[in-house]
């Protein structure tokens, strides 16, 4: 067979497989979200109003990770649940940049802790690591996110890689505090001993809670490392998970890079874990590029709400809808969670990229309201 035909055939099979994987993951994600809504056990406290915070303390966790301890400057307490995140609004080189960072510990003396890994090309993480100082101020949105413990969860396995430990750190402690002698396991993949974020805190939790089992899996450990060595890949993860489902009583929490999550999902599928016992937090890069935004106000009809709203230049569909009091669903406000997804019925909108919508969702007319700006009169199915 000529190479070009073989290449096209392989390309077609590959694209078909990738699209099947995306569809399966979308269906599973929707199923899990539907289950959570059906339980009615999650109360979301999303806030679209930015609040000022002051940096009270900065602590280095690993060579490329630090924690910021923050105090809200207004009088109201910031109430949050373990596993939730803050959307932080930093001004970098004169422009506002938003990033979502998980709260990484229970509130301590009223201070909030977020933990930030420096990314190779990350302008905002570089700003935080190099320029942010104690006493500096910035604004936060939220807390938000539904990667939280529901009341029916009594035992859990947490699976994390790298900075994916940040939301899981708080969840682990919250579950141990709530359930006492709950059977809890943490499987945490890192590069080497110095890269284990919160190692002292995790070891201390393990000493005070004998029912907590810790598995650190290091891909490049030093000679003296006596724990698990090598990459945490599917065969090894499945071996570690063996027997932990406990007759369907265990809940599984995953957090890490996309490739790691895809691998871990395979292991959970092999274990036949029910969708409502499986919880994931995705870290996606916040949208950066902004298509040329409309420079004039536009009229937007929110069809389900029966309201017409004027959207100011530079205002997103979400900001305009919320300012008008519409009950729009949202969470991160940086394009990562997909909660603000709306379908555009008529009209043209531009959207910041990249974001968490799949090509299929785009094709069906969906856009993320937090990153989308109307260019002309628009009708939205919301
Ligand atoms: S609110 Fe999260 S993607 Fe828009």
Where do the domains of the chain lie?
Answer: 1-40, 51-144, 149-282, 298-380
CA 356, chain centre distance (Å): 11
pLDDT of residue 127: 97
Ligand 1 atom closest to 369 (CA) = 4
Residues with CB under 6 Å of ligand 1 are: 330-333, 335-340, 356, 368, 370
Q: What is the pTM of this model?
A: 0.79
Q: Which of 333, 353, 373 to mutate to test the pocket of ligand 1 (most atoms within 8 A of CB)?
A: 333
Around Cβ 82, how many Cβ atoms within 10 Å?
23
Query: Which of 87, 286, 337 to probe ligand 1 with, by most ligand atoms within 8 A of CB?
Result: 337
Mutate to test the pocket of ligand 1, among 84, 146, 336 (most ligand atoms within 8 A of CB): 336
Atom of ligand 1 nearest to the CA of 337: 2
CA-333 nearest atom, ligand 1: 1
Does domain 149-282 fall into CATH 3.40.50.2300? no
Q: Classify domain 298-380 by CATH architecture.
A: Roll (3.10)
Determine the length of the chain: 382
Strand 156-161 relative to strand 184-190, pairing: parallel
Per-residue tens of pLDDT for the chain, all 382 residues: 444 444 444 444 444 444 444 555 555 555 445 444 433 333 344 556 789 999 999 999 999 999 999 999 987 888 899 999 999 999 998 888 888 999 998 777 789 999 999 998 888 999 999 999 999 999 998 888 889 999 999 999 999 999 999 999 999 999 999 998 789 999 999 999 999 999 999 999 999 999 999 999 999 999 999 999 999 999 999 999 999 999 999 999 999 998 999 999 999 999 999 988 999 987 666 666 666 788 999 999 999 999 999 999 989 999 999 989 998 888 788 887 788 999 999 999 999 887 778 888 989 999 999 999 999 999 999 9
Q: Burial code of 45-81, b = ≥16 C-beta within 10 A, e = fewer?
A: ebebebbebebbebeebbebbbbbbbbbeeeeebebb
Cα of 171 to ligand 1 centre, how many Å?
A: 22
Name the CATH superfamily for 51-144: Translation factors (2.40.30.10)
Other Cβ atoms within 10 Å of 267 Cβ, number: 23
- Which atom belonging to ligand 1 lies closest to the Cα atom of 370? 4
């Amino acid at each position: 067979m000529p190479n070009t035909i073989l290449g096209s055939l392989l390309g077609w099979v590959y694209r078909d497989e990738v699209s099947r994987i995306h569809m399966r993951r979308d269906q599973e994600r929707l199923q899990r979200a539907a289950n959570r809504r059906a339980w009615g056990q999650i109360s979301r406290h999303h806030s679209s109003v930015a609040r000022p915070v002051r940096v009270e303390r900065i602590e280095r966790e690993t060579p490329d990770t630090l924690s910021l301890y923050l105090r809200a400057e207004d009088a109201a307490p910031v109430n949050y649940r373990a596993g939730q995140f803050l959307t932080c609004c930093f001004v970098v080189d004169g422009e506002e940049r938003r990033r979502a960072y998980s709260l990484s510990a229970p509130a301590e003396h009223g201070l909030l802790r977020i933990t930030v890994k420096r990314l190779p090309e990350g302008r905002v993480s570089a700003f935080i690591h190099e320029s942010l100082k104690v006493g500096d101020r910035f604004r936060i949105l939220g807390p938000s996110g539904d990667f939280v413990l529901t009341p029916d969860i009594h035992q859990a396995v947490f699976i994390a890689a790298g900075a994916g430990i940040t939301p899981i750190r708080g969840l682990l402690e919250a579950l141990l505090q709530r359930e006492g002698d709950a059977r809890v396991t943490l499987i945490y993949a890192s590069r080497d001993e110095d890269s284990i974020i919160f190692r002292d805190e995790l070891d201390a939790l393990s000493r005070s809670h004998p029912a907590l089992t810790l598995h650190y899996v290091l891909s490049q450990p030093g000679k003296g490392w006596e724990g698990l060595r090598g990459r945490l890949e599917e065969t090894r993860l499945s071996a570690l998970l063996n027997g932990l489902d406990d007759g369907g009583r265990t809940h599984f929490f995953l957090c890490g890079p996309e490739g790691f999550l895809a691998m871990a999902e395979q292991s959970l599928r092999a274990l036949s874990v029910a969708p409502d016992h499986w919880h994931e937090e995705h870290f996606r890069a916040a949208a950066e590029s902004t298509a040329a935004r409309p420079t004039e106000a536009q009229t937007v009809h929110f069809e389900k709400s029966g309201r017409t709203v004027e959207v100011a230049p530079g205002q997103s569909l979400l900001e305009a809808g919320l300012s008008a009091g519409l009950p729009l669903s949202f969470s991160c406000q940086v394009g990562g969670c997909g909660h603000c997804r709306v379908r555009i019925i008529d009209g043209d909108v531009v959207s910041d990229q990249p974001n968490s919508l799949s090509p299929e969702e785009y094709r069906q007319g969906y856009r993320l309201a937090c990153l989308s700006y109307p260019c002309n009169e628009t009708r939205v199915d919301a």
